[in-house]
Amino acid sequence: MQILLIYFKLWKQFQDTGSIERKPGKGRPRATTATEDRYLSIIARRNRGATASQLSCDLYAATGTRVSRMTVSKRLHETGLFARPAVCVPFTSTKRRVRLAWCREHRDWSMDQWTTVLFTYESQFSLNTDSRRTFIWREPGTRYLPSNVRKIDHYVGGGLMVWESIMLDGRTPLHVFERGTVTCVSYRDDILEPYVRLFRGAIGHEFILMDDNARPHRALRVDEFLESEDIARTDWPTISPELNPIEHVWDALGRAIATHNPPPRTIQEMKTSLLNEWDQLPQEMINCLISSM
């Protein structure tokens, strides 16, 4: 009904004036001046890690103008600044060449080949902040500029280390490391033995494991276990999480946790929230991400 009313008003305006453009002076006045817009752009570039809410408070303190965080985001978008995840490690030319070589090697893979891959990842979810979800204000195409690279905080207060894996039309349960850290022994006993080995048996000799190159994954004990179980592991460029489709799944999980009001306040609440949100992630989304490879 609302759409029909809008259509009717536009059609009547066109009949009366020959145009559907908004008349000068119509609509709500702009909440900020050109000077305030420039001020927002300047302080966002000086403090790229500031949130839109923080910038709104800074604007109010400096000018007395109070605007919402959505208005702040719109003004920054107009100046070419967008909130994007920050790169947390330098992207060297060597890493770039290795990643390009990997992409070229796998660009012609068929869906039948990707179906045999188990994508895995480990991540830290903190009660305070999530260093993996650090956003900065930056211009398009400037992701790897030194000024936009951030140092990652590997542990920022109470949190949980979790592991998960996905395949086309399947996933494993979310695994929480009770001791908080991952060693080669815990990785072998808690992950490879109960999860990966079973997937290898179900898929057959074509099965491929894709891990995230963490140090415990490259330990001798892990290599010996994989060899004894005839589990193939793909070569994987270091520090290349965005090439793994499960990275986007983790991002969706993080966003789901961020919507909780009130947020988890204890380790047990965080664990319960993660387990519940993981089970609710749609398999269709996971399949779409893997198909995009």
- pLDDT, tens digit, for every residue of 240-291? 666 788 888 887 888 788 788 788 888 888 899 999 999 999 999 999 988 8
In this predicted structure, what is the pLDDT of residue 258? 76
Mean pLDDT of the residues in the chain: 82
Provide the terminal-to-terminal Cα distance of the chain, rounded to the nearest Å.
41
CA distance 75 to 36: 9
Taking 60 as the threshold, does the pLDDT of residue 154 lie above it? no
- Between the alpha carbon of residue 34 and those of residues 40, 42, 44, 57, 75, the distances in Å are 10, 12, 15, 18, 10
In this predicted structure, what is the pLDDT of residue 155? 44
Taking 70 as the threshold, does the pLDDT of residue 5 lie above it? no
CA distance 131 to 221: 30
Nearest to 222 by CA among 175, 182, 273, 184: 184
Taking 90 as the threshold, does the pLDDT of residue 67 lie above it? yes
Between 25-29, 47-51, 284-288, the lowest mean confidence (pLDDT) is in 25-29
* CATH number given to 107-136+153-291: 3.30.420.10
**How crowded is the C-beta side of 45, counted as CA atoms within 13 Å?**
13
Enter the DSSP assignment of 189.
I
In this predicted structure, what is the pLDDT of residue 242? 64
Assess contact for 10 and 3: CB atoms under 8 A. no
CA distance 240 to 257: 24
Percent of the chain residues past pLDDT 70, beyond the cut: 83
Domain boundaries of the chain, sorted by first residue: 1-18+30-80, 107-136+153-291
55, 61, 66, 67: CA torsion to nearest 10: -10
Nearest to 57 by CA among 40, 41, 81, 42: 40
Give SS3 for 68. Answer: coil
Mean pLDDT for the stretch of residues 114-124: 89
CA distance 246 to 220: 26
Between 71-85, 98-112, 198-212, the lowest mean confidence (pLDDT) is in 98-112
In this predicted structure, what is the pLDDT of residue 90? 62
CA distance 187 to 174: 14
In this predicted structure, what is the pLDDT of residue 172? 92
CA distance 134 to 154: 12
* pTM score, whole prediction: 0.64
